[in-house]
Amino acid sequence: MTRPQIAPRGEEKLYFSALADGNLTYGFCLACSTSHFYPRTLCPNCHSDDIESRVGSGRGTIYSFTTQYRAGNPALEDQVPYTIVMVDLEEGYRMMADLVGSEPEAISIGLPVVAEIEHPDNEHPVVHFRMEVSHGR
């Protein structure tokens, strides 16, 4: 699968190299004990730079979603329709990714999902979510 190509820099690169090792990371502020995503050099809550990169469980629930019947990028034209989800992770942060393995009718807000990491050859790794209870299988 070919994805839109990205060019991460600095702390962005650290996130993708952690993914390449199989770890979905998020930022955790040691000063105020809150989580954030995407990972930052500074806590967006208290502005401390005492940030720890933590590995998350990848488990969460769907905050919202959309199924697109057009591709948002030419590289994804053969994937249409595909679903993008906003997920509230159990560690207290929210992230966006796509949802794989479910028919659009089976998707709704509040359902549990779990992250998986795909690492295509010669590309950046990519996070997908999958419904924890599979439907129609």
Partner 1 sequence: MADKSVAIVGAAQIDTFKTTDRSPVGLAALAAKRAVEEAGLQMSDIDAVFSSSSYYAMPTLTMAEYLGLSPNVVDSTSTGGCSFVQHLGHAVAMINQGLCEVALIVYGSTQRTDAGKLVSMAEQSVYEQQYGLIHPVGAFGMIAHRHMKEFGTTSEQLAQYAVSAREWALLNPEAPYPTPLTVDEVLSSGIVASPLHKLDCCLVTDGAGAIVVTSGARARSLKQKPVWVLGTGEAQNHRNISQMPDFTSTRASVSAKRAFEQAGVGIADIDTAHVYDAFTISLLILMEDLGFCAKGEGGSFVENGRLAPGGELSLNPNGGGLSFSHPGMLSMFLMIEAVAQLRGTAGARQHDGAKLSLVHGMGMTLASHATAILGNEEPS
Interface ranges with partner 1 (CB under 8 A): 3-4, 6-8, 12, 15-16, 37-38, 63-73, 75-76, 79, 82, 84, 86, 94-98, 104, 109-110, 124, 126
86 binds, among partner 1, Zn ion, none (CB under 5 to 8 A by kind): partner 1
Among 14, 31, 75, 80, binds Zn ion (CB under 5 A): 31
Contact 91, 26 (CB under 8 A): yes
**CA-closest candidate to residue 89, choices 30, 43, 27:** 27
Asked whether position 30 contacts Zn ion by CB under 5 A, the answer is no
Beta 59-68 vs 112-118: how paired, if at all? antiparallel
Least Å distance, CB 27 to Zn ion, is: 9
Q: What sign for the dihedral angle of Cα 99, 87, 126, 115?
A: negative
Beta 112-118 vs 35-36: how paired, if at all? unpaired
Quick check: helix, strand or coil at residue 74? helix
Number of residues that bind Zn ion (CB under 5 A): 7
Window contacting Zn ion (CB under 5 A); options: 16-24, 41-49, 98-106, 125-133: 41-49
31 binds, among Zn ion, partner 1, none (CB under 5 to 8 A by kind): Zn ion
In 10 A of CB 15, how many CB atoms? 22
Residues interacting with Zn ion, by CB under 5 A?
A: 29, 31-32, 43, 45-46, 48
